[in-house]
């Protein structure tokens, strides 16, 4: 017998930089930039009669100056955030225009942030952030700029076919001197943000952890079917009951004493309820997708199906000894899964399924 939970979905070419860095008497100018970039040096060079305050999240250090305290400019410089000030036009910015649903937008934000850090960009910009699925779903550890249309203009446009998933190291290492970069779709390799870390966390993270603890859940399962069946252009396929059976066996092999208490989050509750492999599991269907992701991410053991939603449910898992199982047959011969799936995740191949 299965437990069934359901509720309504919740709504979820400007003038020269130096000319723009003007001293303003008796007024505080706040310009927030990445400390490890060339713009930081330009700011320092411009401050001959300036009191500099270097600010971090927890402490503030004042560097004295010979300037008259009644005639000074105060410039705030942080090591993590980026500016929304209109006083400067960024010398090298990385921008992204959000598209798609939650999983795709998480990849766009994480990859563009990783690229901006690697390139030493002076700004990380997200266009149309307000009221986006991304903004509704995450809390930013590093606040992006809400860039205007002109800010999204770029000298370099980088994107990747969604079926390839290959890490392009050149995207990370271009010259800072002249390139503004617009990040396009499908940069879906964890290697873009492996060294920089993520600039966000789910708003529902605590909810997910408490829910899993309350229900004593040890295994999370994501079952995605409806759009894979309807849209053959995805070049995916709806995974059979046999896949999930083999995936559960993989978890038992990884953790021999595992007591399986499972929750299934799905877009096809009718199909799940009619599959014996999911008997005696908690089924979540028609529930808030961000809450579902948080629940799945809080499970130490997780089985994903095809797609970015399941991928992020696994990647956001904070457990040290986590077990993440995925379907390992690539979309196409060009798909580079070694750049898409972390090496410690557990693959299930078509051969495993046929022999299972």
Reported as a single tens digit per residue, the pLDDT across 85-108 is 322 344 578 888 888 999 999 999
Whether 2 maps to a domain, the answer reads: no
Mean pLDDT to the nearest integer, 137-150: 80
Quote the domain boundaries for residue 291: 204-355
Looking at residue 346, which CATH number applies to its domain?
3.40.50.2000
User: Tokens representing 322?
Assistant: 């986590």
Residues 192 and 212 both lie in one domain: no
Rounded distance between C-alpha atoms, residue 20 and residue 308, angstroms: 42
Residues 188 and 243 in one domain: no
* Average pLDDT over the chain, rounded to an integer: 74
Same domain, 187 and 216: no
What average pLDDT does the segment 131-142 reach? 94
**Do residues 266 and 172 share a domain?**
no
For 258-289, b where at least 16 C-beta lie within 10 A, e where not — what string? beeebbbbbbbbebbbebebbeebbbbbebbb
pLDDT at 233 over 50: no
Mean pLDDT, to the nearest integer, of 46-51?
Answer: 37
Residue 71 is inside which H or E element, if any? none
Of 202, 234, 252, the position where a domain reaches its end is: 202
User: Is residue 102 domain-shared with residue 222, that is, in the same domain?
Assistant: no
Final residue before a domain boundary, out of 14, 43, 77: 77
252 and 183 in one domain? no
Query: Strand runs (DSSP E) across 85-192, as ranges?
Result: 93-97, 123-127, 138-140, 145-147, 156-158, 181-183
Same domain for 227 and 113, yes or no, is no
pLDDT tens profile 158-167 = 777 666 788 9
Do 142 and 266 have their domain in common? no
Please write the tens of the pLDDT for every residue from 315-324: 999 999 999 9
Q: According to the model, what pLDDT value does residue 148 have?
A: 53
How many separate domains does the chain show? 3
Please count the other Cβ atoms lying within 10 Å of the Cβ belonging to residue 74.
Answer: 16
Same domain, residue pair 47 and 186: no
List the beta strands (DSSP E) in the chain: 3-5, 27-29, 50-55, 60-63, 73-77, 93-97, 123-127, 138-140, 145-147, 156-158, 181-183, 200-202, 219-223, 262-266, 282-285, 301-303, 323-327, 346-348
Whether 292 maps to a domain, the answer reads: yes
In this prediction, residue 154 has a pLDDT band, given cuts at 50, 70 and 90, of low
Cα of 244 vs its chain's centroid, Å: 26
CA end-to-end span of the chain = 24
Contact call for residues 317 and 324 (beta carbons, < 8 A): yes
Query: ∠ at Cα 340 (335, 152), nearest 5°?
Result: 95
Both structure tokens of 62: 């004042």
Query: 213 and 308: one domain?
Result: yes
Question: What's residue 158's pLDDT?
Answer: 74
Q: Among the three residues 13, 42, 77, which one is the final residue of a domain in this structure?
A: 77
Question: Is residue 273 scored above 90 in pLDDT?
Answer: yes
Task: Please indicate whether residue 178 or residue 305 has the higher confidence score (pLDDT).
Answer: 305
Residue 20 reports pLDDT greater than 60 = no
Classify residue 85: in a domain, yes or no. Answer: no
The pTM of the whole model exceeds 0.75? no
- In the prediction, which pLDDT does 255 show? 93
194 and 219 fall within a common domain: no
Q: Are residues 342 and 238 in the same domain?
A: yes
């Amino acid at each position: 017998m299965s437990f069934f939970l359901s509720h309504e979905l919740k709504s979820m070419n400007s003038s020269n930089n130096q000319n723009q860095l003007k001293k303003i008497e008796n007024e505080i100018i706040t310009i927030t930039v990445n400390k490890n970039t060339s713009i930081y040096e330009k700011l320092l060079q411009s401050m001959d009669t300036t009191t500099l305050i270097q600010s971090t999240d927890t402490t503030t250090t004042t560097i004295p100056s010979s300037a008259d305290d009644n005639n000074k400019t105060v410039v705030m410089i942080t090591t993590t955030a980026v500016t929304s000030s209109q006083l400067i036009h960024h010398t090298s910015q990385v921008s992204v225009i959000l598209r798609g649903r939650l999983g795709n937008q998480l990849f766009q934000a994480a990859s563009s942030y990783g690229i901006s850090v690697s390139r030493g960009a002076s700004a990380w910009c997200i266009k149309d952030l307000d009221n986006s699925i991304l903004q509704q779903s995450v809390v930013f550890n590093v606040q992006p700029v809400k860039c205007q249309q002109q800010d999204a203009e770029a000298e370099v446009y980088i994107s990747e076919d969604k079926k390839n998933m290959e890490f392009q190291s050149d995207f990370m290492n271009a010259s800072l001197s002249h390139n503004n970069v617009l990040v396009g779709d499908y940069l879906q390799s964890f290697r873009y943000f492996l060294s920089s870390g993520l600039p966000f966390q789910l708003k529902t993270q605590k909810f997910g952890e408490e829910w899993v603890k309350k229900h004593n859940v040890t295994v999370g399962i994501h079952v995605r079917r409806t759009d894979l069946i309807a849209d053959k252009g995805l070049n995916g396929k709806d995974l059979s009951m046999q896949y999930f059976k083999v995936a559960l066996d993989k978890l038992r092999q990884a953790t021999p004493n595992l007591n399986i208490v499972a929750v299934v989050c799905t877009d096809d509750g009718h199909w799940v309820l009619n599959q014996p492999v999911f008997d005696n599991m908690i089924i979540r269907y028609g529930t808030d997708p961000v809450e579902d992701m948080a629940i799945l991410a809080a499970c130490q053991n997780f089985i994903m199906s095809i797609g970015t939603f399941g991928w992020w449910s696994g990647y956001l898992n904070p457990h040290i000894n986590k077990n993440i199982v995925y379907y390992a047959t690539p979309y196409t011969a060009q798909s580079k899964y070694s750049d898409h799936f972390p090496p410690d995740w557990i693959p299930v191949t078509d051969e495993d399924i046929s022999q299972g």
